[in-house]
Amino acid sequence: MPKSMTGTGRVLVLCAAWLAAGPGMVCAEDDAGGVKIGDRAPAVLEKLGEPSGRLSMGGRQTWMYSGFSVILEDGQVVDVPGLSPPVTERAAVPAAGFRRPRNPAGGELNLERRSEAPVDARDMPVLMEMIRTRRGLELARAVDRCIGPEAVPAIPLLIPLLGDTTGFTVTTYMGGGKISEGTTTMGQLAADALGTMGLPAWHPCVERLRQGTPFERANVAVALMRLWKNFNATDRSFPTLLVEVFRSPVMEADKPALQAKARMAALLEGMDSPEALAALHQAMSNPDVWLNDTVVRILGRRRKAASIPFLAKQFLGHADAAFRERAGEALEAYKDPAAARAAMGGLTRPEAEMRRITARILGAVKEASMVPPLLRLLRDRDLEVRREALRGLGRIESPDSILPLIEVVKDEPDEWMSQNAASYLNGLVMTNRDPEVVQALGSGLRHRDAKRRVRLTDLAGRTGAPELYEPLARLAREDREPEVRRTAMMHLDRFDDPGKAAVFLECLAEERDERVRGTAMQVVKYGSLRDRQVEILLGILRGRDADRAREAAFILDELHRVNRHPEVLDVLIKTLTHEDAGVRERAESILCREADIPRFGAQGKEFGGDPEKWRTWWRDHGIVWP
């Protein structure tokens, strides 16, 4: 290790190398695979392959291999830690863990990609020699490193590789971790490299675009598109040339040619020109499913009005159900009334899937004009069609859908639809006093199903219509389901009726369900009955139920308002003789605090619950109550 490196740096590098190699690391002389001091980075990659990990520190890079590591500075090997003596001249021995390509002529080979940094000009001679002489994975690694203007000398060597169909799996790393994995070919690697080299690669690629095989043309088109956008955007002839090649008969000669044409279609997506759009429309007439599917996805992303008739034709007329769904998804992405009108033919199709997709297209528009056809689909015989129509109505939120949705809550056999229709209605019925809406909800309060009665009670309460107060008050008192009583009790607070205090008092005094009682207590504490809460709470204290009396006494203690109510004194004094100790202690605590006197002690036993004796005692002690 170089002496210029600090002690801490040396320790960190060695630790990193040890961690990468594992606890069984052994530093054998032959493990370096023939790497020697002064070798450049491409030579290291050629001898050892891609490292299992990289560490950058102080301008240096440490490449980790199984059993050892290699330190490079400015792209040159400066040390191989752990080897003694240092590696200088040694016969090349394949490093442990480095696999030679098993199928150099083709097939799936693993290509690890760790950087897309421009190549160093000093490395180009080695890379070009590798491109001339190597095959398989080693050739792919060399091509993959030809990035940037410094790689221009390799253009004549890369052009012939554009038609190479050798397959690879590509694993891309960044920051020490794997970020993606996919497949590629030698021709695609060459196209990616050429696309980074600038204008010197332009004319050789254009020549190949005119004359190559469909596979070559697709690869060249990728390189030219990148060159055009980054280096030659002023060239107005390239879009026309690309469209011309895309439309040429050679691109439809066989199945591989159609696959190459589908790749070129993705490039036309980036061209905002009428010619490119017309070429995509023309491609939809080809029966190839893969090409059609690619074009449909592109048109759905572009959302051009001129494409709607072509997409609608495919949606309504294509023989393949999966493709019809793709075309429907593209029309849905428009979220436009014109796209919805073009798809209306799907409403009457015998296939349930077509009606379902049409409902989805209509619901995406979010316009009131889409409500009537969606309401018709609410009565469809297919459950999934009805559900999709309901989702669409929920997105549109039109007042015209209120009454039909109430009927769904009441009568739809599917529980999911009933529940979601009620959810969509929550905002629509808020403060809605329309007589038809009030009548529809009022009739639903007698529904036999408890769950639906709860939903309809909730919706009726949200309207705040005075006509619904009495039915809700009756439900709060008499319904056999606690959840219905609780929901009705929660919404009674919206109504301005003089009798609602009595309903809450009755509930707090007699209700056996804890949740219903808790809801009523919350309304009394924080709702519109706050001005009468002392009256209600004192009414509870007069009762003999210990649990309710403790709750009421506790709330009274929180309010700090008891000294302003004329009945408080008598009720609290009588509460001192309550059979429940908790109630007695709470009442005594309130009286002591409000009267500012110590605990009553003997007087409590002597006076008991006689208010007159207490008043006389307080008067004699100078205590004045209202």
Does residue 421 lie in a domain region? Answer: no
Q: In this predicted structure, what is the pLDDT of residue 106?
A: 40
In the predicted model, what is the mean pLDDT of residues 412-429?
93
Domain assignment present for residue 1? The answer is: no
Which of 396, 419, 446 is the C-terminal boundary of a domain?
396
Number of domains in the chain: 3
Are 74 and 113 members of one domain?
Answer: no
Q: Residue 167: what pLDDT?
A: 86
Quick one: 383 and 310 in the same domain?
yes
403 SS3 class: helix
Q: Quote the pLDDT of residue 578.
A: 74
Q: Which residues pair with 169 in a beta bridge?
A: 110, 183
Does residue 31 lie within any of the structural domains?
yes
**In-domain check, residue 129:** yes
Buried b (16+ CB within 10 A) or exposed e, 526-557: ebebeeebbebbbbbbeeeeeebbbbbbebbe
Give pairs for 577-582: CB < 8 Å, separation 24+.
577/608, 577/609, 578/546, 578/549, 579/544, 579/546, 580/546, 580/549, 580/550, 582/546, 582/550
pLDDT of residue 346: 92
Residue numbers of the domain that contains 53: 7-79
Output 269 or 468, whichever has higher pLDDT.
468
Helices then strands (H, E): number in the chain? 32, 7
- 125 & 58 share domain: no
Q: Can you give the CATH number for the domain in which 62 is found?
A: 3.30.1450
- The encoded tokens of residue 203 equal 């004319």
Is residue 326 situated within a structural domain? yes
Residue 97 lies in a domain: no
- Could you tell me if 71 and 119 lie in one domain? no
The yes-or-no verdict on residue 251 having pLDDT over 70 is: yes
- From 327, 362, 396, give the residue that closes a domain: 396
**Alpha-carbon 199 to chain mean position:** 41
* Residue 267 CA neighbour count, 13 Å, CB half: 26
pLDDT of residue 218: 92
Residue 360 has pLDDT above 90, yes or no: yes
Nearest to 18, CA basis, from 66, 72, 83: 66
Alpha-carbon distances of 623 from 559, 561, 592, 608, 620, rounded to whole Å: 21, 17, 11, 18, 8
Residue 403 lies in a domain: no
Listed residues 198, 233, 268: the one ending a domain = 198
Say whether both 120 and 192 belong to one domain. yes
Half-sphere exposure of residue 15, counting CA atoms within 13 Å on the CB side?
A: 6
Instruction: Tell me the mean pLDDT in the region 366-379.
Output: 92
Q: Report the range of poorest mean pLDDT among 45-54, 124-133, 572-581.
A: 572-581
Q: Where residue 349 sits, what CATH number does that domain have? A: 1.25.10.10
Residue 118 and residue 73 share a domain:
no
- Judgement on whether residues 115 and 192 belong to the same structural domain of the protein: yes
With cut-offs at 50, 70 and 90, classify the pLDDT of residue 622: low
Instruction: Name the CA dihedral angle for 159, 165, 169, 171, rounded to a multiple of 10 degrees.
Output: 10
- Is residue 457 over pLDDT 90? yes
Decide if pLDDT at 398 tops 70: yes
Q: What is the pTM of this model?
A: 0.64
Question: Do residue 38 and residue 113 come from a single domain?
Answer: no
Cβ atoms within 10 Å of 291's Cβ, excluding its own: 23
Kindly state the average pLDDT of the residues 519-528. 78
Q: Assess if residue 38 is contained within a domain.
A: yes
pLDDT for residue 274 is more than 90: no
**pLDDT for 518 beyond 60:** yes
More confident of the two residues 625 and 99: 625
The string of pLDDT tens digits covering residues 479-509 is 999 999 999 988 988 888 888 878 887 787 7
Coil/strand/helix, residue 510: helix
Cis peptide before 85 (omega within 30 of 0): yes
pLDDT score for 15: 44
Same-domain check for residues 374 and 332: yes
* 8-state DSSP, 479: -
75 with 113, same domain: the answer is: no
Residues 75 and 156 both lie in one domain = no
| Domain match, 338 and 391 both | yes
pLDDT of residue 46: 80
